[in-house]
Amino acid sequence: MDLWQYQAALEELKAAPEPGAKLSALLKAAESCNGELAHGLETEWLDEHRYPLTRSRADVLSQLAELCGDDDPEQALVALEKARTLDPDTEEPYLRIIRLQLSLGRRDDARRTAKLLRQRQAGLGIPPHPRTERALAALFAGKES
């Protein structure tokens, strides 16, 4: 991970006046955030910085998916999958992935993603939230929630 490039891309994003410039900055940020900060080093002080950075990376990928979703749903899907991998305990990327998969006609993929979400929640001992179950039911019924 190139932290300096990532932070520079975030500054560029903040200053971006229009969607094209935002997309460019998001792409730079997404490209520079492969891997883990100081991979292989295990120190307590570093761990304090890793989680906020991981959340930031997931947010960048989510914003990228939002911005390119209509024009390039495949790129949006890749970004959301990376965000889900970075923060697998957050429901929203799963739901957005399912929504995109269904819009692309990939019903079986959407079912697998829903299964992954349920398995993740079960593994954490978290019961499915009624709101999430309603959202999944609506998505698979062809309705937006």
The pLDDT assigned to 112 comes to 96
Q: What is the pLDDT of residues 15-68, one digit of tens each?
A: 998 989 999 999 999 888 666 555 555 666 566 777 888 889 999 999 999 999
- The answer to whether 33 and 60 are in contact (CB under 8 A) is yes
Q: How buried is 52 (Cβ within 10 angstroms: 0-12 exposed, 13-18 middle, 19+ buried)? A: exposed
- Name the strand (E) or helix (H) holding 22: helix 19-32
Q: How far apart are CA 73 and CA 118, in angstroms?
A: 24
pLDDT for 144: 59
Taking only the tens place, the pLDDT of each residue in 84-133 is: 998 899 999 999 999 999 999 999 999 999 999 999 999 999 988 888 88
Q: For position 129, what pLDDT does the model report?
A: 85
- Rounded to whole angstroms, the Cα distance separating 119 from 23 reads 33
